[in-house]
């Protein structure tokens, strides 16, 4: 673990041990009692919440180790919800949670997972600050929020995280998968991905305009659902991926359509060294017996390799399962501190604990920690 001081490495090991092995709630008190063996609450509390160690090198080290162990098929973006009582913890507010489809008093995080069909691992995080935190100097000072951390749109947090992974971490990006069904500014997100030369699959709402406003020849907005409905009349592709409980084949119909007028259309800022944005396409899943598609995606991947594209859109199901494991088994939601720094420390170490346990399980051996014991 890339921590510069031996005492930091010691407490990091203790904390990760606790996140893996302590049953039930992973509080600092319980980690101290079960792992350290003596009352070290204040030392652990100081390490997680106040110690100035940087979380970015730890995330980079984790990402590079994972790339050497697995082959990510995609980077999948997930919303992570941290329900809270009160409003003192950093970033807490009553805010709409798209994954829960209701308003909660919570912190909202954004995680980028390296994902394949067998497993997925969060490697980068952002805490999304609500707008009400921008001018609350008292709460910002109490939770040590950096001056440049302000409320932004979700797509801005995401693009910043991707820029860090591609630019500063020098990782080779696979396709980026994003659920933007409740994102108001889908075009800013998609264009930002295109400007960076990234492959993407973005799930959108059925009423999302298929063609950006700058490229439309009239006021008529053709939606992505209308586009795939027209394409469906020319045929659909049926894909089976297993068996149902009753023994029948599990599968669905898929339809792909090319967004008209995208090639070379509209003002697009080209980043030096990045490829020119490719054609946009719409992919839709259309279950048998349904009059409308159940899911719709915008993508710039080639729809001629439909089976691979369909495999990608099923990856968020994998990351949803692993996010639940992080919350239930690795204490992701059990952070008791209130500071900006502490939140980032905790989610980073929870990611390390999850990765260690998952890789050990994949190697089919008992998860015996190879960390040095401390008295």
Look at residue 93 and tell me if it is in a domain.
no
Rounded Cα–Cα distance for residues 48 and 93 (Å) = 23
Look at residue 13 and tell me if it is in a domain.
no
Rounded Cα–Cα distance for residues 82 and 100 (Å) = 12
* Most confident residue range from 21-30, 220-229, 280-289: 21-30
- For tokens 């297993």, the residue is 242
Q: What is the pLDDT of residues 171-229, one digit of tens each?
A: 999 999 999 998 878 999 999 999 999 999 999 999 999 887 665 555 667 899 998 88
Look at residue 30 and tell me if it is in a domain.
no
| Bridging pattern class, strands 176-179 and 200-204 | parallel
**Cross-strand pairs, 250:** 242
Range of weakest confidence among 54-68, 93-107, 126-140, 280-294? 280-294
- For tokens 């749109």, the residue is 153
pLDDT for residue 170: 96
Look at residue 10 and tell me if it is in a domain.
no
Contact 351, 15 (CB under 8 A): no
* Most confident residue range from 227-241, 284-298, 322-336, 355-369: 322-336
Pull the structure tokens for residue 325.
């494991």
Pull the structure tokens for residue 271.
């980043």
Residue 254 has pLDDT above 90, yes or no: no
pLDDT for residue 271: 47
Pull the structure tokens for residue 264.
């070379």
Element (H, E) at 115: strand 102-115
Look at residue 366 and tell me if it is in a domain.
no
155: confidence class by pLDDT, cuts 50, 70, 90 = very high
Look at residue 188 and tell me if it is in a domain.
yes
pLDDT for residue 306: 80
For residues 143-170, give the mean pLDDT. 96
Look at residue 287 and tell me if it is in a domain.
yes
pLDDT for residue 100: 83
pLDDT for residue 325: 95
Q: Is residue 104 classed as helix, strand or coil in its secondary structure?
A: strand
Residue ranges in the chain assigned as alpha helix (H): 6-21, 28-31, 41-45, 55-69, 137-142, 154-163, 186-195, 224-232, 306-313, 315-329, 340-362
Any residues with CB less than 8 A from the CB of 19 and at least 6 apart, and which?
A: 26, 31, 330, 331, 349, 350, 353
Residue 372 has pLDDT above 70, yes or no: no
pTM: 0.87
- For tokens 């001018």, the residue is 135
Look at residue 100 and tell me if it is in a domain.
no
- For tokens 């108001």, the residue is 184
Q: For the chain, what is the domain count?
A: 1
Percentage of the chain surpassing pLDDT 90?
Answer: 59
Q: Using alpha carbons only, what angle is made at residue 61 by residues 30 and 150, rounded to the nearest 5 degrees?
A: 75
pLDDT for residue 269: 47
Q: 76 phi and psi, to 5 degrees?
A: -105, 130
For residues 94-116, give the mean pLDDT. 93
What is the span of the domain harbouring residue 267?
176-300
Question: For the chain, how many residues are written?
Answer: 375
pLDDT for residue 60: 97
Contact 283, 259 (CB under 8 A): no
Query: For residue 255, which of 300, 295, 212, 289 has the smallest C-alpha distance?
Result: 295
Range of weakest confidence among 182-186, 239-243, 336-340? 239-243
- For tokens 């990765």, the residue is 355
266: confidence class by pLDDT, cuts 50, 70, 90 = very low
């Amino acid at each position: 673990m890339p921590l510069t001081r031996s005492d930091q490495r010691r407490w990091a090991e203790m904390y990760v041990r606790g996140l893996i092995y302590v049953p039930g709630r992973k509080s600092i008190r319980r980690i101290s009692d079960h792992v350290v063996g003596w009352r070290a609450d204040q030392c652990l509390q100081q390490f997680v919440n106040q110690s100035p160690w940087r979380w970015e090198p730890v995330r980079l080290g984790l990402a590079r180790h994972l790339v050497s162990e697995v082959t990510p098929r995609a980077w999948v973006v997930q919303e992570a919800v941290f329900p809270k009582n009160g409003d003192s913890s950093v970033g807490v507010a009553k805010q709409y949670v798209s994954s829960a489809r209701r308003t909660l008093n919570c912190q909202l995080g954004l995680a980028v997972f390296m994902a394949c069909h067998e497993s997925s691992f969060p490697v980068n995080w952002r805490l999304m600050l609500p707008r009400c935190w921008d001018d609350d100097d008292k709460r910002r000072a109490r939770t040590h929020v950096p001056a440049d951390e302000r409320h932004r749109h979700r797509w801005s947090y995401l693009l910043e995280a991707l820029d860090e992974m591609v630019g500063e971490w020098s990782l080779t990006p696979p396709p980026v998968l994003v659920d933007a069904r409740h994102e108001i500014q889908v075009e800013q997100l998609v264009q930002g991905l295109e400007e960076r030369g990234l492959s993407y699959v973005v799930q959108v709402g059925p009423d999302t305009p298929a063609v950006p406003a700058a490229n439309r020849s009239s006021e008529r907005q053709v939606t992505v659902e209308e586009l795939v409905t027209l394409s469906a009349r020319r045929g659909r592709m049926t894909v089976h991926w297993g068996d149902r409980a009753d023994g029948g084949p599990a599968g669905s119909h898929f339809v792909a359509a090319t967004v008209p007028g995208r090639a070379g259309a509209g003002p697009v800022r080209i980043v030096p060294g990045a490829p020119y944005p490719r054609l946009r396409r719409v992919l839709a899943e259309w279950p048998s017996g349904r009059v409308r598609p159940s899911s719709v995606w915008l993508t710039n991947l080639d729809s001629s390799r439909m089976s691979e594209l369909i495999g990608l859109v099923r990856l968020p199901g994998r990351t949803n399962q692993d996010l639940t494991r992080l919350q239930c088994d690795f204490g992701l939601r059990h952070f008791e501190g209130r500071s900006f720094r502490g939140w980032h420390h905790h989610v980073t170490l929870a990611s390390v604990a999850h990765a260690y346990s998952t890789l050990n399980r994949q190697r089919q051996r008992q998860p015996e920690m190879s960390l040095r014991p401390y008295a």
